[in-house]
Amino acid sequence: MSYTPAASRYETMKYNRTGRSGLLLPAVSLGLWHNFGSVDVFDNGRAIVRRAFDRGITHFDLANNYGPEPGSAEENFGKILQKDFGGNLRDELIISSKAGYLMWPGPYGEWGSRKYLIASCNQSLKRMGLDYVDIFYSHRPDPNTPLEETMMALDSIVRQGKALYVGISNYRPDEAMRAIEILQELGTPCLIHQPKYSMFERWVEEGLLDVLEGHGVGCIPFSPLAQGMLTDRYLKGIPSDSRAAKSHGYLKTEEITENRLKQISQLNDIAASRGQSLAQMALSWLLKDHRITSVLIGASSVAQLDNNIDAISNLEYAPDELEAIEKVLKIS
């Protein structure tokens, strides 16, 4: 079935400036970390991407190793682009990818060397059938490669026309500051940082957000729903089909403690009093901070996608609501 984007797609989405750059990103962006790989149903992923664009999501975030199998999310996204986003629609999209984690065997298949980053970018472009990505990230800092080499590789990728902007992900405050300063000296400013940040993981508040704001760099948190814990899925314990129940998942069963379940239940009550789902409140709680450019969500269905996007309809918090949330989060 042919796809014609909704004419109203830009009418309700909120767009935020990325740091001090000229680039606007949707308040909610779609990540393809899960549910878009070779083991997943292609037509479901395609429907999610279509619906996301119809609702104003212009930013689609990938990495070389997303799948499973590694690389298959980019391959499937490339097929969706070819089928549904031909012609000038590419110019309405922000497509990002990353490199840093293990992708192929041998000494050049991970981390932050110039060899690995440039080869990875080339492979990602080929898998997606693109001439360039809009943003290319160093996915994690490399303790054994000079930071200058990693940042020079990002600079080269931009100068070669393979990316329009560059970013960093999983960099701690001191590392981020050095990386940002090196890129500034090279003449390819750092556009954005992608850290793990949610109500349950708040290390970015210990200096990173200040570094980004001070240098005019955007911030797009990943795992804003704490791998699904900040949703209604865990209100009655651990579902058998949840990430926590899967031994190979990123969310471990031991993370779902009695106190954590108590927090989830109490946060859900606060969300209900705001007229939101727990997921919507978790996303809007991040977006209330002007330093947050966008939140990066995943989705396994169109319904889940719609529920998350609806978070942008209520971004205002009364002081007593914030106090109540902080009180719950201090439960140990």
Distance CA 126, CA 75 (A): 9
pLDDT of residue 332: 72
Residues in a beta bridge with 24: 17
Residue 73 and residue 32 in contact, taking contact as beta carbons nearer than 8 Å: yes
Question: Cα 140 from chain centroid?
Answer: 14
Q: Which domain holds residue 213?
A: 15-231+285-314
Residue 136 and residue 125 in contact, taking contact as beta carbons nearer than 8 Å: no
Distance CA 147, CA 188 (A): 15
Q: Is residue 99 part of a domain?
A: yes
Q: Where are the alpha helices (DSSP H) in the chain?
A: 42-54, 72-84, 114-128, 147-159, 173-186, 208-215, 258-273, 278-287, 302-309, 319-329
pLDDT of residue 226: 96
Q: Is residue 210 part of a domain?
A: yes
pLDDT in tens, the chain (332 residues): 789 999 999 999 999 999 999 999 999 999 999 999 999 999 999 999 999 999 999 999 999 999 999 999 999 999 999 999 999 999 999 999 999 999 999 999 999 999 999 999 999 999 999 999 999 999 999 999 999 999 999 999 999 999 999 999 999 999 999 999 999 999 999 999 999 999 999 999 999 999 999 999 999 999 999 999 999 988 876 665 555 544 445 566 667 889 999 999 999 999 999 999 999 999 999 999 999 999 999 999 999 999 999 999 999 999 999 999 999 999 87
Residue 27 and residue 280 in contact, taking contact as beta carbons nearer than 8 Å: no
pLDDT of residue 331: 83
| Sign for the pseudo-dihedral over CA of 196, 201, 202, 206 | negative
For residue 69, say if its preceding peptide bond is cis, omega within 30 degrees of 0.
Answer: yes
Q: Is residue 327 part of a domain?
A: no
Q: Is residue 117 part of a domain?
A: yes
Distance CA 227, CA 222 (A): 9
Q: Is residue 332 part of a domain?
A: no
Distance CA 28, CA 309 (A): 6
Q: What is the identity of the amino acid at 116?
A: Y
Residue 218 and residue 244 in contact, taking contact as beta carbons nearer than 8 Å: no
Q: Is residue 131 part of a domain?
A: yes
CATH at 68: 3.20.20.100
pLDDT of residue 236: 73
β-sheet with 218-219: strand ranges across? 218-219, 190-194, 163-169, 133-138, 94-99, 59-61, 28-31, 295-297
- Look up residue 167 and give its two tokens: 């970013």
Distance CA 108, CA 255 (A): 34
For 148-185, the three-class secondary structure string (H helix, E strand, C coil) is HHHHHHHHHHHHCCCEEEEEEECCCHHHHHHHHHHHHH
Distance CA 172, CA 169 (A): 9
Q: Is residue 4 part of a domain?
A: no
**239-233-36 Cα angle (round to 5):** 90
Distance CA 49, CA 80 (A): 8
Domain count, the chain: 1
Q: Is residue 266 part of a domain?
A: no
Distance CA 70, CA 102 (A): 9
Q: What is the identity of the amino acid at 47?
A: A
